[in-house]
Structure 1
Amino acid sequence: MKLLLDECIDRKFAREFVGYEVKTVPQMGWAGIKNGQLLTLAEAEFDVFITVDRNLSFQQNLPQFDIAVIVLQAPSNRLADLKPLFPKVLAILATVAKGQATVVGA
């Protein structure tokens, strides 16, 4: 399974995903690209897009994209705040559906 981390997530978070192919938006050269175009690019190469952007599911018509979205809800996007969500993210990875956003919170 291929995962893409949004540019607002600390790249060190990728180290947690042992056994998954993980890239960040900046690693792909996509930093600064707006969400609609970003999802279009991402769906061609990735299975899941992980972000902290709570507005993404309201701003984009997710069913038109062939990629699952996981929205992390934490006090901030700092690694220390995101790490506690990791077990929940791992638990739902197998069940996330393409074209839908799944919210993972504390």
Structure 2
Amino acid sequence: MKVLLDENLPNRLKFRLLERVHEVFTAREMGWNGQKNGNLLGLLTANGFEVLITSDKNLVHQQNLNKYTVNVLLLRIKANRYPYIQALLPQILYLLESKQSEQFIAIDPV
């Protein structure tokens, strides 16, 4: 599975995901920082990505996700700091490993 972490997420998340998911990239690594959501989703589709992990709550309201083959995993977190994300890590890994087919999934803190 090929996963992209949006630019709003800490790089530390990548290394935790790499323990169980084979291909994880950051927007920064791909040179995609600053891309508008529609352009980013198009780049993901064109480059074979299957999942975008983001905390951008506006993305789902601004884009017609049906136009893209990428699944979006939205982290509804208080702040984009690792401790908030770490609490969601079991849910994130479960969803990635079970290869959920929903195009949009939001994860809330427990």
Aligned length: 105
Sequence identity, in percent?
A: 38
Q: For residue 96 of structure 1, what is the aligned residue in structure 2?
A: 100
Letter in 1 for 2:12: K
- Alpha-carbon deviation of 1:16? 0.9
Stretches (4+) displaced over 3 A: none
- Offset of residue 96 of structure 1: 2.7
Q: Does 1:85 align with 2:98?
A: no
CA-CA distance at 1:19 after TM superposition: 3.4
* Counterparts of 2:20 and 2:95, CA distance in 1: 15
TM-score normalised by L of structure 1: 0.93
State the distance in 2 between where 1:96 and 1:43 align: 17
Report what 2:55 is aligned to. 52
More helix by share: 2
| Structure-to-structure mapping, 1:10-21, within 5 angstroms | 10-17=10-17, 18-20=19-21, 21=23
**Comparing 33-42 and 10-19, the one that deviates more:** 10-19
Q: Distance in 2 between matches of 1:60 and 1:75?
A: 23
Q: Using the alignment, how far apart are the partners of 1:63 and 1:88 within structure 2?
A: 24
**Residues of 2 paired with 1:44 and 1:67: CA distance?**
10
Structure 1 unaligned blocks of 5 or more:
none
Instruction: Report matched runs for 1:57-68 at 5 Å.
Output: 57-68=60-71
Task: Choose the corresponding residue for 1:32, options 8, 31, 34.
Answer: 34
How far off its partner does 1:90 sit? Answer: 1.0
Would you say 1:71 and 2:74 are equivalent positions?
yes
